[in-house]
Amino acid sequence: MLSVLDIFRIGVGPSSSHTVGPMRIAARYRRRLAKLALSPDMIAMIFRGSLAFTGEGHGTFRAAKLGLLGFRPETIDMAKAEAALAELERTGALPDGTRVETVVDYEQPTRLHPNEMQLIASASGERIDGRTYYSTGGGFIASHAQLSRPAENDLVQTDQPVPYPFGSGAELLAICAAHGLSIAQVMLANEDARRPRETTLAKLDRIAAVMMDSVDRGLRASGPLPGPLGVERRAAHLWNKLTTAPPNEREALFDWLNVYAMAVNEENAAGGQVVTAPTNGAAGVIPSVIRHYCHDEDGRIQDSMVQRFLLSAGGIGLLYKQRASISGAEMGCQGEVGVACSMAAGGLAAVWGGSPEQVCAAAEIGMEHNLGLTCDPVGGLVQIPCIERNAIGAVKAANAARLALHGTGKTVVSLDAVIETMRQTGLDMSTKYKETSQGGLAVNVIEC
Ligand code: SF4
């Protein structure tokens, strides 16, 4: 069983699979070299598949270099990171003198996952070590050996027994019914097997705090986002309009959800700190819904509501991760914003007092109307359509939760069925629409 803390990870933008994952891979490889007491004079990093095609726009190569330099997504100090990176670019080497080479391989097909990264260490021109890794979405990584043996990879952690293991939505609902528990209570009991409850709740509070910080930073910042598209940030302008003359039209709900989601995704596009929810590209949907709905009458965010939201949404997210994928390179955007929408819908239904069946129904509706959603980022940047797509995903999540709560929780299409449908649709989807920027908007919008 995965932990809810595997689904929500603190990282940096713009992409969990293309920024956070490669940074973690490079750091892991350095640890491997240290453990083996190897002292190369050069490390080559070879990027293949989606990491090659959209790596430049996603900041993949920078992130991997930062990983070699010892930075981690959860704790990175951006000022120190920029200084270290500038020094590496100037000298071409790490502080210990090890030269770093970046190779973008568009030709060789990837083997076990579309996000492949190979690291080769050499000394005096001789190869002394090499390893292939995969960035499997949401910041998860696996070595070639791990991914070849699914039972032992880090996607399904079986080492920690939990009181309520479940592998499907049906099993989760059966556990809830048998023990009279909510989905959040089941998740928390499972987390209790891993660490003290206070630690879990403190970590959830920290995740929520980073989410809200990313909203706040995005609401204040203005100007163009990085990259050649010249995309202007819009959240701050919309926020000023909303707060100086609050709209009273019925559609105002959309404005609030839109502005919070866009604030986070503009921060993500700018390389700021966000939480994978379940990925960086889809990082705005859940914070937006939390920000708009999980507060008291004075506007203060309510920790208990947020914890219930995150535990319920996390339970749904791990079903997608374990039964399908949350990687845009495997599933298209249905696996990122679609999953975020499904998770947010379930989390919101739980906060609104929905039964476990209604929570799963909300999650099902949230995904059902994202099936087939492609990933076609213009210029390989996580900006168009990603920023607006999160806004649309947040609104859709609230609507899905409403629809579910008006029902009994009984649905014709089960959550498991829609997850499997997403998986099959993702497998059938052309690679042009799976984070390669070779189709869709990416080829129909002219870059200036
Ligand atoms: S289109 Fe969706 S999946 Fe693709 S980079 Fe943007 S947010 Fe991620």
**CA end-to-end span of the chain:** 47
Cβ(338) – ligand 1 distance below 6 Å: no
Q: Which of 325, 375, 381, 443 to mutate to test the pocket of ligand 1 (most atoms within 8 A of CB)?
A: 375
Between the alpha carbon of residue 159 and those of residues 9, 133, 139, 151, 175, the distances in Å are 20, 22, 20, 10, 21
Which residues lie below 8 Å from residue 394, measured CB to CB, with a gap of 6+? 257, 258, 260, 261, 284, 285, 288, 289, 341, 344
Sign of CA dihedral 133, 136, 138, 140: negative
Compute the distance between CA of residue 347 and CA of residue 363 in angstroms, rounded to an integer.
Answer: 8
pLDDT of residue 158: 47
pTM of the predicted model, to two decimals? 0.92
Cβ proximity of 407 and 356 under 8 Å: no
Tell me if the bond preceding 385 is cis, omega within 30° of 0. Answer: yes
Q: What is the pLDDT of residue 160?
A: 77
The rounded Å distance from CA 293 to ligand 1 centre is 25
Backbone angles phi, psi at 429, to 5 degrees: -70, 140
pLDDT score, position 50: 95
Measured in Å, residue 57 CA sits from the centre of ligand 1 at 12
User: Which residue has the least CA distance to atom 5 on ligand 1?
Assistant: 382
Q: What's the confidence (pLDDT) of residue 150?
A: 58
Retrieve residue 151's tokens: 């039972």
Per-residue pLDDT at 298: 81
Closest C-alpha to ligand 1, atom 3:
333
Report which ligand 1 atom has the smallest distance to the Cα of 328. Answer: 3
**pLDDT on residue 27:** 97
- Nearest partner of 7 among 277, 310, 187, 194, judged by Cα: 277
Domains of the chain: 15-152 (3.30.1330.90), 169-444 (no CATH)
Would you state the pLDDT for residue 194? Answer: 96
Question: How many angstroms separate the Cα of 426 from the Cα of each of 280, 332, 371?
Answer: 19, 6, 9
Closest CA to 366 of 389, 388, 393, 391: 393
11: CB partners within 8 A, 6+ apart: 19, 20, 73, 74, 139, 273, 274, 275, 276, 280
Which residues does the chain have with pLDDT short of 50? 152-158
CA distances from 270 to 13, 67, 391 (A): 7, 19, 17
CA of 411 to the centre of ligand 1 (A): 29
> Per-residue DSSP letters for 398-415?
HHHHHHHHTS-S--SS-H
Ligand 1 contact, 137 CB (< 6 A): no
Tell me the pLDDT tens digit for each residue of 213-257: 999 999 999 999 999 999 999 999 999 999 998 888 888 889 999
Coil, helix or strand at residue 74: coil
CA distances 162 to 159, 191, 329, 368, Å, are 10, 8, 31, 30
CA 335 to ligand 1: nearest atom: 3
CA neighbor of 391 nearest in space, from 287, 320, 247: 287
Do residues 136 and 147 touch, judged by C-beta distance below 8 A?
Answer: yes
> Which of 51, 330, 337, 381 most suits a substitution to test ligand 1, by most atoms within 8 Å of the C-beta?
337
User: Best substitution site from 56, 268, 330, 333 to test ligand 1's pocket, by max atoms within 8 Å of Cβ?
Assistant: 333
Calculate the CA 352 to chain-centre distance.
25
CA nearest to 17, candidates 307, 227, 321, 228: 321
Which ligand 1 atom minimizes the distance to the CA of 54? 5
Residue 185: both structure tokens together: 């209570």
Query: What atom in ligand 1 is closest to the CA of residue 435?
Result: 4
- Closest of 117, 169, 184 to residue 324, by C-alpha: 169
| Ligand 1 pocket residue status of 377, Cβ below 6 Å | yes
Task: Give the residue whose CA is nearest to atom 2 of ligand 1.
Answer: 333
Q: Tell me what pLDDT residue 156 has.
A: 42
Residue 139 Cβ contacting ligand 1 at under 6 Å:
no
Ligand 1 proximity of 57 Cβ (cutoff 6 Å): no
CA distance 339 to 250: 27
Asked whether 331 lines ligand 1 (CB < 6 A), one says: no
* DSSP 8-state symbol, 246: -
